[in-house]
Structure 1
């Protein structure tokens, strides 16, 4: 049991891979205060909430991950998807713009901005 908490991110990822999302969420919530300054941990927990179709609960985790690491394109991509799921068009566009600041040739972000601006 000790090894399980030595690498909590690894354990959460394993639970996700096994489809044990509720257990992954519970473990993430129980360790959140200890890992609140770990952008990767916040990203993983936010991802679990997104996987179980709870974008409102995912957003604070992605917001925290963004505060800790503003250059993580994968996190910004998922944060964009959360904003889209919550029908927050302007926030989704802003995330795409952040992606383009990091990677100006990111076609996915360019295409999504084009689509959203037509709405």
Structure 2
């Protein structure tokens, strides 16, 4: 078996993205996010809050034109309150599932 022509070219392999298949068993790629603290010698972890990412919400979001992608038909649901009167099965009831599917998505 021979390598592809692209790999035979001198120095081209170094330009490819390094994967776990290309390195030895000790290679850990990670996600590039960095640490948010440090490990202790007893196995614990100390969060260093100067390393923790914080996101600042922009001002004047009331005038912002874009909105999150959430349907207007969705009503807020909290716990089992929306399943009252549906019997003991509650959210596991197949009849309830089919009736809600037809109510929200129409008939097939």
The question of a shared fold, defined as TM-score above 0.5 by the shorter chain, is answered with: no
Q: How high is the TM-score relative to the length of structure 1?
A: 0.18
Q: Which has the higher contact order (CA 8 A, sep 6+)?
A: 1
The higher radius of gyration belongs to: 2
Q: How high is the TM-score relative to the length of structure 2?
A: 0.19
